[in-house]
Amino acid sequence: MSSIVIVGAQWGDEGKGKIVDVLTERADWVVRFQGGNNAGHTIVVDGVKTALSLLPSGILRPHVKCLLGAGVVLNPTVLLSEIDRVRAAGANISPGRLVIDRDAHLVLDYHVLVDKARELARGASKIGTTGRGIGPAYEDRSQRSGIRCADLLHPARMRERVRAHVDEKNKMLKLILESKAHVDFDEVWGRLEQEAAILAPFVGNGSRLIFDALRAGERVIFEGAQGVLLDQVHGTYPYVTSSSTIAGSATVGVGIGPKMINSVLGIAKAYCTRVGEGPFPTEMVGDLGDDVRTRGREFGTITGRPRRCGWFDAVAMKRAIRTSGIDSVILTKLDVLSGLPTLKLCTSYMRGGEVVDDLPPSVEDYEGLEADYLEVAGWSEDISGVRTWDALPRNVRAFVETLSKLIECPVSFVSVGPGREATIPVAPPSVVKEFMA
């Protein structure tokens, strides 16, 4: 039995898709356990780029089976169009190779409308959601009225429940959110009935499949979406997503016990980015932020939104390491920093002359908070073609070693470009080596 959980250790967009893809050479399963099509994972194979939002990143490796676990919220229309797109690029996506857990909840049109209307109603205090209906779908799950993938097998049973949802959301849109948006039951139902027929053969028992696979000695990668700092409880609340993004969520979102997880990898950029609103203590201001955004092509994979850029934050990272039990960190996008004469690593925050050594609990507590930095020398070389640790310029290695000391966690790989081949092993844990050729 070998299993790895891979989580984003910052605010999302750390390059998880690429790392999952690299580690699937010898994997049997790749499993998504939370979130929905608010995620955007990019994989580049032989120069060809594939953007995924729902399908697990193992889908491009023909021998890998993929599960959308019970903790995922799934928009059937988006999933079907993604399946068509990835099939057109040559992937075989058949029932059995792709399984959708029967307990995963559906995201339907009305969730998207409520998400957008609520953001508008929030005005200046908006969260900056992706507008994909993720929050409202999880709300329905929590208030125990959600429509699940199991219902796709019995459309007649869910018809009246969908109608009740449509009525409720229309009232909410009009009377509470003062929105002009309106949901048409016939439209929602007509499409859902057709989609149910196509998706029904993919619905299965994910918990049983993964439990049995691990018991049989298969290799499983649990692929997190978003980042640990967007966790609904342990993130920068309320500027967070609606699911639990920490590594422990893999067990809850699939339905296996914590003892079945062997290792947790945290993916982090060599700097930081954040999309949407919310605290960001190391945010770069002015031209530097624009420069890093351009160099790093920091625009949302799915939404195209510009990402806010900042320096690497060791304080936030230590929180991610703690809340997810990260064993080692994979540092991505190191090549983006080439050419900057001096680099900064945030070592602590200060407020009113006092050291603050963790992300504060409330937005108001960020008032007057300043990041304290360690400055280190940059490098001028283009490192995107380097393929071994020893061949990296001395300053690059020194930067990584200093960062690793600050976060008190080993760095197992560094990544210097978007392709599979641009991933350099530094000190991979033995469990991780089992996943590589």
Q: Which residues participate in catalysis according to the annotation?
A: 13, 41
**Given 10, 34, 57, 242, the residue binding ligand IMP (CB under 6 A):** 242
Cis previous bond, 429, omega within 30:
no
Q: Does 78 bind ligand IMP (CB under 6 A)?
A: no
Output the smallest distance, CB 147 to ligand IMP, in A: 19
Cα 195-197-201 angle, rounded to 5 deg: 110
CB nearer ligand IMP, residue 1 or residue 121: 121
For 80, which DSSP code? H
Q: Which residues contact 304 (CB under 8 A, 6 or more apart)?
A: none
Output the smallest distance, CB 154 to ligand IMP, in A: 29
For 174, which DSSP code? I
Q: Does 111 bind ligand IMP (CB under 6 A)?
A: no
Q: Does 230 bind ligand IMP (CB under 6 A)?
A: yes
Whether 425 contacts 412, CB under 8 Å:
yes
Q: Does 320 bind ligand IMP (CB under 6 A)?
A: no
Q: Does 276 bind ligand IMP (CB under 6 A)?
A: yes
Output the smallest distance, CB 133 to ligand IMP, in A: 8
Q: Does 12 bind ligand IMP (CB under 6 A)?
A: yes
Output the smallest distance, CB 259 to ligand IMP, in A: 29
Q: Which residues contact 427 (CB under 8 A, 6 or more apart)?
A: 328, 410, 411, 412
**Given 15, 135, 206, 296, the residue binding ligand IMP (CB under 6 A):** 135
Q: Does 69 bind ligand IMP (CB under 6 A)?
A: no
Q: Does 319 bind ligand IMP (CB under 6 A)?
A: no
Q: What is the distance between the alpha carbons of residues 409 and 321, in angstroms, rounded to a whole number?
A: 8
Number of residues that bind ligand IMP (CB under 6 A): 21
Q: Does 134 bind ligand IMP (CB under 6 A)?
A: yes
Q: Cβ of 354: how many Cβ atoms within 10 Å? A: 8
CB nearer ligand IMP, residue 39 or residue 386: 39
Output the smallest distance, CB 172 to ligand IMP, in A: 17
Output the smallest distance, CB 175 to ligand IMP, in A: 23
Please give the radius of gyration of the chain, using alpha carbons only, rounded to the nearest integer: 22
Q: Does 57 bind ligand IMP (CB under 6 A)?
A: no
Q: Does 38 bind ligand IMP (CB under 6 A)?
A: yes
Q: Does 118 bind ligand IMP (CB under 6 A)?
A: no
Q: Which residues pair with 78 in a beta bridge?
A: none
Q: What is the 3-state secondary structure (H, E, C) of 94-162?
A: CECCEEEECCCEECCHHHHHHHHHHHHHHHHHCCCCCCCCHHHHHHHHHCCCCCEHHHHHCHHHHHHHH
Output the smallest distance, CB 281 to ligand IMP, in A: 16
Q: Does 128 bind ligand IMP (CB under 6 A)?
A: yes
Considering only 102-110, 154-162, 236-244, 418-426, which stretch makes contact with ligand IMP by CB under 6 A? Answer: 236-244
Q: In terms of DSSP bridges, do strands 370-377 and 29-32 run parallel, antiparallel, or are they unpaired?
A: unpaired
Residue with tokens 């230590």: 318
Q: Does 253 bind ligand IMP (CB under 6 A)?
A: no
Q: Does 71 bind ligand IMP (CB under 6 A)?
A: no
Output the smallest distance, CB 36 to ligand IMP, in A: 8
Return the structure tokens found at 108. Answer: 């339907």
Residue with tokens 């057109």: 88
CB nearer ligand IMP, residue 33 or residue 379: 33
Return the structure tokens found at 371. Answer: 């990041």
Considering only 24-32, 65-73, 129-137, 154-162, which stretch makes contact with ligand IMP by CB under 6 A? Answer: 129-137
- φ/ψ (deg, to 5) at 181: -65, 145
CB nearer ligand IMP, residue 213 or residue 320: 320
Whether 421 contacts 387, CB under 8 Å:
yes
**Given 40, 56, 69, 206, the residue binding ligand IMP (CB under 6 A):** 40
Q: What is the distance between the alpha carbons of residues 351 and 344, in angstroms, rounded to a whole number?
A: 19
Name the residue among 325, 337, 237, 239 with its Cα closest to residue 284.
337
Return the structure tokens found at 173. Answer: 């849109």
Output the smallest distance, CB 126 to ligand IMP, in A: 9
Amino acid letter, residue 224: G
| Alpha carbon 376 to chain centroid, angstroms | 29
Q: What is the distance between the alpha carbons of residues 60 and 86, in angstroms, rounded to a whole number?
A: 8
CB nearer ligand IMP, residue 40 or residue 248: 40
CB nearer ligand IMP, residue 11 or residue 435: 11
Q: Does 129 bind ligand IMP (CB under 6 A)?
A: yes
CB nearer ligand IMP, residue 15 or residue 419: 15
Binding site for ligand IMP (CB under 6 A): 11-13, 38-40, 127-130, 132, 134-135, 225-226, 230, 239, 241-242, 275-276
